Amino acid sequence: MKYLRHLILFFGLLCSAYPLAWMCVTAFRLEADAQASPFAFPKRWVIRNISKVFASGGFEDPWLNALLILVALCLAGLAVLVLLHIVQGRFQVSTCLSVIILISAIVFSKCHPSVQEALSGKGFANAYVNSLLVCIGSVALTVALSSLAAFAFALCEFRGRNTLFVIILAGMMLPVHVTLIPLNLLLGPGFLGLKESLWALVGPYVGFALPVSILILRSAFQAVPTELLDAARIDGCSTWQVFANVALPLARPAIATIVIFNFLTMWNEFAFALTLLGPDNSTLPIALNDFKGERGMYIAETCAALAIVVIPLMIVYGIAQKHIIKGLTAGAVKG
């Protein structure tokens, strides 16, 4: 029985790991080889595909584009760290410094002509930076809004609480693609005029992420022992301080869950990005789509691009999943 279970698990691992491994290997093959026999083991390993992926960017030199992505990734990591610190209620010198670095990076990218030019082009590197900006911005906004809303739904008494909650949950039942045309009209030049800018994506992304996030966080806040909240009130916390100092740190596993969940959906989102962004702007799913032509596709190049897209995501997941598993409530009350 035990061996059977292990066998099944191993089979599952094979199913999910094989495509990933194939993708990584194919990224280093010659395009002609890959076209001839896609599943064979490579005869020659080449790095050309990767430089080709980076070539379609704002800079002439593909490695400058790669550097741009790397810098963007580092800044994104920094932004995530800042968010984590804020969630933990620590406002230290290091947090302030990180915020200063982030702001200066944004100002620099807006003001320096060559970087500005590189960022405004349409290519893989730009799509990468765009995706990072949109996803991190949307996730941050989602966490901020949903944690506040969930706290109110879980722990504050007010009239119409349940009705409001049901209305928000009803948002989950709406098929996302139904809203494509209304959103196009709403964001179009007649109304908000945000179309073709990245802001056009942030709104819908956050909007559609909120119901699930609120649902998850609400149950996390409900699990916080009420005695702990009473103790905080006696210790001199206002409602806001109870939220920031006591409830939010305890909801960390739930926050990690919604961060990963929403980040994945936003990172892979295609329909909104295709319709709401103009022809000169794109996010990664759109950029990946460009590797596919009308008559066929560049297998090796696509794989290289995919690998570059997926690997940072896997690193983030690897770090964050520890937080999900670790139960932080242990030791709060009798245990």
Partner 1 sequence: MAKVTLEHVGKIYPGNVRAVKDFNLEIEDGEFIVLVGPSGCGKSTTLRMVAGLEEISEGTVKIGDRVVNDVLPKDRDIAMVFQNYALYPDKTVYENMAFCLRMRKYTGTGGRPKGIIRNFINWLGNRKQKNEDIDRRVKEAADILGIRDLLRRRPKALSGGQRQRVAVGRCIVRNPAVFLFDEPLSNLDAKMRVQMRTEISRLHNKLRTTMIYVTHDQTEAMTMGDRIVVMKDGIVQQVDSPSEIYDSPNNVFIAGFIGTPPMNFFEMEVREVNQKMVICDEAGAINLTLPPEWTGPLQPYIGKKVTFGLRPEHVGSPSAEAQYNPQTISATVEVIEPMGSETYLYMKVGSAGFVARVDPHRKCAVADKIDLAVMIEKAHLFDIETTNRIV
CB of 228 to partner 1, least distance (A): 5
Cβ–Cβ < 8 Å for 257, 324:
yes
Q: Pick between residue 87 and residue 198 the one whose CB is nearest to partner 1.
A: 87
CB of 99 to partner 1, least distance (A): 19
Residues at the interface with partner 1 (CB under 8 A): 88, 225, 227-228, 230-237, 241, 245-246, 249-250, 252, 328-335
CB of 249 to partner 1, least distance (A): 4
Q: Pick between residue 166 and residue 330 the one whose CB is nearest to partner 1.
A: 330
Residue 87, C-beta contacts closer than 8 angstroms, at least 6 positions apart: 143, 248, 249, 252, 255
Q: Pick between residue 17 and residue 231 the one whose CB is nearest to partner 1.
A: 231
Rounded to the nearest angstrom, the gap between the alpha carbon of residue 33 and the centroid of all alpha carbons in its chain is 34
CB of 333 to partner 1, least distance (A): 4
CB of 238 to partner 1, least distance (A): 8
Q: Pick between residue 44 and residue 334 the one whose CB is nearest to partner 1.
A: 334
Q: Pick between residue 173 and residue 330 the one whose CB is nearest to partner 1.
A: 330
